[in-house]
Chains A and B, each alone.
Chain A
Amino acid sequence: MLADFLTGLQNALHPLNLLIMSLALAGGIAIGTLPGLTATMGVALLVPLTFGMDPASGLLMLGAMYCGAIYGGANSAILINTPGTPSAVCTTFDGYPLTKQGRADEALFTALVSSVIGGIIGTIFLMFAAQPLALVSLKFGSPEYFWLAIFGLTIISSLSEGNMVKGLLGGALGLLLATIGIDPVTGHTRFTFGFRPLIEGVTLIPAMIGFFSFAQVLSLVDEDQKYIAEYSPIPGVIGKVFSKLLKDCKNIILRSSLIGTFVGILPGAGGNVASFVAYNEAKRWSKNPDIYGTGAIEGVAASESSNNATVSSSLIPLLSLGIPGSPVAAVLLGGLLIHGMRPGAKLFIETGEVAYTFIIGLVVANLLMLFVGYLGMRIFAQVLNVPSHYITTIVIVLSFIGSYAIRNSLVDVVIMMVCGVLGYLGLKVGIQPGPIVLGLILGTIAEEGFTLSLLMSKAQGSLLSTFVTRPISAFLIFMCILSIVSPIYVRMKKSRKDKLEQNV
């Protein structure tokens, strides 16, 4: 093993491989930044290129592309309030307000550093704890996914502080949209109103592009400002951000990375769920939760470190069990098989050298990303110096192309536009897109978990033993209750305190 490890290290640091990884990172960051072009697509595009390559270099290229794309989503989230990938939805909550305050540099740099740290922490787990974590991921059955989704939905309450009803409305709309299409259990179509192209349902990415990008463009046009935000590069911002991150965000980044690692190993959840959970936890444990959503560096750090931690950890079920835990992992599986590698327990024994090269390469890729990402950031930030009427035009074009490119389907373009208009109207009346997209993401997970659990309980003859008494389920139920009760408790305490003060 040590020999394989050392060869892996040597291979990963080979100049040619470093070059390949840097290029793939740059490509990945560009793909991630453009809304609608996803990590899965980027990796899938590169797979045929690896046919003629040495397996190790090929895999390093794919890995670097994956890291870059997940990080890249943050750039557009921060600069134009448009998450480039679903994982970056939470990055918009604080990233865009920061841009509005003229602090885009800080936000961008925070996103980069947190992504790198998250990515490295995830990779360390992949390297040293893949087997035990893979076993944990197996413990997640349908009931656990159901409760995880319900726990995720409780996040709506903290996303929509101040106006619970509107938040819940948005969440309900998202859940409703998630039910359109083919019923996962009976296989019949529902809620398509006889319009056949809707059988696939409202796909997440076009909907997300609509609710964020398209709606954002409409409101930019509405605002009629010359520029999105004031922007001038601040000298010494790097040092400032570093010390801020070291001082205030150490725990947040560490916790978020661990959350990301854990959520990433679950085949049914991914970077999007991870960043929501991490963001919510960061807010919950914060001394002043009120700053979240108004431009908190902490929020950006939580979201970005957790989603990049899922990059490596989503490969854990793939590499140690042979089960592709995410769409990207499924594409990587194809790449591995073509190179004659069989993911699973024997991967490290039979092809240890390549496997270690790949894993060490992921660490190296993350470090390289610090430089490549920094260069990219400088370029992307210039967007703010472009008058907003150009930006809106470009974003509209990208929204159309991006939503079409997901499945080469015009239906998705229409879905994007409808969601965009809905999202714009929602913004007008104070319904944020966050809860809607959260409902859409979690609706399918919750429904499938619930219906399959019902079938399981039918076979077992007991609802209780399926839904409640399984240990992880019980824990998740506890978390749900905590998540609902704690804000109420905090508010009651606060109002009592206010009253006391008034009385005095």
Chain B
Amino acid sequence: MKKKFIVILMLVSFILTLGLTGCQKSEEPKNDDGKTEAKYPNKDITMIIAFSAGGSSDVQARIVEKYFKDEFGVNPIITYKTGAGGEVGFTELAKSNADGYTIGGLNVPHIVLQPLARETEFTIDSFAYIGQMVNDPQVIAVMKDSKYNTLQELIDDAKANPGQITLGNVGTFTGHHIASLKLMDLTGTEFTLIPYKGSADQIVALQGGHVNAIMGNLNDVMRDVEKYKILGITTEERHPLAPDWPTFKEQGIDMTSGITRLFAAPKDIDPEKLARLREGFKKIANNPEYLKDMEKIGQPAEWKDGEQVYEELKKETETAKKLLEKFGLLEKK
């Protein structure tokens, strides 16, 4: 009786944990390098997500998952490798086997800024880009009862009182941080930047009156949008999800910015496989059903081809480097 019980206990615990961890690696029929298989893909594709389950990046990947099987005929296996603002997952993808069966989500500007901020095991050259799925632009938001009505009023006040106006950010060396630096650089103002741990904390700080304004994401302010005044959005043109918000550009501040979500494979992937992935993801990205789902979760979909993404990343690296140098943030290690 006792023995039986122990065996059952061990079995149950093994099955449970295997289900959680092990089976992400499905049995992989080994095929020789170099030889192109009959048809790609012919087994499930591992998809590395660098942020925790339930976060924006994950929810987006889950929506892609819904359409992935129809497009590629195989399942994506979402694997979380989280930590250090995505760095753990990005590194994992960069070091993965480039056999076409591991792809992953990347976030910009994270992959641009992390190699600048500290020593990392990847750079933007470590990946082959499939395409961009989401462009979540930044907004400057204040509470409805704030004394600021336009971006100009906020900037004027910051000019008159350098360092006394607080601007909530998420993290340091992040999209929000770099957008705030850009703004300060272009307008010659000095805000005190408060780097919160996550967007939830940032929103609490704004709603609780602990900061004067935030540099936030469209996705985060959309949820309770009637509580805020949006002073500006960092897009080229007014955003289709929120046509009432003035852009930075029309208010005379020439900057665009945003957090974008890409999919990529390790750099050395076979070009034919990459082409297949690019084609498939593009189809998913333009599927009306997919777009409807994306709107439901409040994430602004915007497809961009892999080549274009890479070109823009190179440019972005240059500007970010200059900006960080200017603010003396690059005296690293």
Contacts and interface: CB of A to CB of B under 8 A. Distances in A.
Interface of A: 30-31, 34, 37, 40-41, 43-45, 47-48, 51, 137-142, 181-182, 184-189, 196, 199-200, 203, 267-268, 317, 321-325, 327, 330-335, 337-338, 340, 342-345, 382-383, 385-386, 390, 394, 397-398, 401-402, 404-405, 407-409, 448, 452, 455-456, 458-461
6 contacts: A140-B208, A185-B195, A382-B5, A386-B9, A398-B13, A458-B192
A141 B85 CA distance: 22
Given A196-B121, A267-B201, A337-B297, A455 B194 contact: yes
B139 interface: no
A47 B53 contact: yes
Interface stretch (B55-63, B126-134, B278-286, B309-317): B55-63
Contacts of A31: 16
Contacts, number: 189
B205 A141 contact: yes
A416 to B, nearest CB: 14
Contacts of B14: 397
A179 to B, nearest CB: 15
A409 B63 CA distance: 25
A187 B163 CA distance: 20
B66 to A, nearest CB: 7
B79 A344 contact: no
A397 B164 contact: no
Contacts of B79: 408
B40 interface: no
B256 interface: no
B16 A333 contact: no
Contact of A327 (B17, B52, B223): B52
B87 to A, nearest CB: 6
B42 to A, nearest CB: 23
Nearest to A326: B200
B298 A330 contact: no
Interface of B: 2, 5-6, 9-10, 12-14, 16-17, 20-21, 24, 52-55, 58-59, 62-63, 65-66, 79-85, 87-88, 117-119, 121, 163-166, 171-173, 177, 192-197, 200-201, 203-205, 207-211, 223-224, 226-227, 293, 296-298, 332-333
B87 A41 contact: no
Contacts of B333: 188
A407 B223 contact: no
Nearest to B164: A459
A159 B79 CA distance: 39
Contact of A37 (B9, B17, B226): B17
A359 B119 CA distance: 47
Contacts of B6: 386, 390
B117 A187 contact: yes
Contacts of B298: 337, 342
Contact of A452 (B66, B83, B196, B209): B196
Given A340-B296, A407-B88, A47 B204 contact: no
A141 B17 contact: no
A459 B194 CA distance: 10
Nearest to A407: B82
A439 to B, nearest CB: 19
Given A45-B20, A334-B62, A456-B166, A407 B210 contact: no
A44 B12 CA distance: 20
A455 B167 CA distance: 11
A385 B118 contact: no
B59 A334 contact: yes
Given A43-B54, A267-B201, 16 more contacts: A30-B12, A138-B208, A142-B194, A142-B205, A184-B172, A188-B118, A321-B204, A321-B207, A327-B52, A334-B54, A385-B2, A386-B2, A386-B6, A394-B9, A397-B10, A407-B82
Closest CB pairs A-B (n = 3) = A331-B54, A187-B172, A44-B53
Contact of A337 (B118, B197, B296): B296
B210 A456 contact: yes
A332 B200 CA distance: 14
A199 B87 CA distance: 9
A213 to B, nearest CB: 13
A72 B221 CA distance: 36
Contacts of B171: 184, 187
Contact of B223 (A34, A322, A334): A322
A31 B208 CA distance: 36
A254 to B, nearest CB: 28
A268 B196 CA distance: 11
A186 B329 CA distance: 9
Given A41-B20, A459-B192, A342 B223 contact: yes
A203 B83 CA distance: 9
Nearest to B177: A187
Max chain B C-beta neighbours (<10 A), residue from A40, A321, A332: A321
A314 to B, nearest CB: 12
B184 to A, nearest CB: 14
A344 B82 contact: no
Contact of A199 (B84, B193, B204, B209): B84
A332 B17 contact: no
Nearest to B167: A459
Contacts of A332: 54
B23 to A, nearest CB: 12
B200 A189 contact: no
B21 A405 contact: yes
A337 B195 contact: no
Nearest to B165: A459
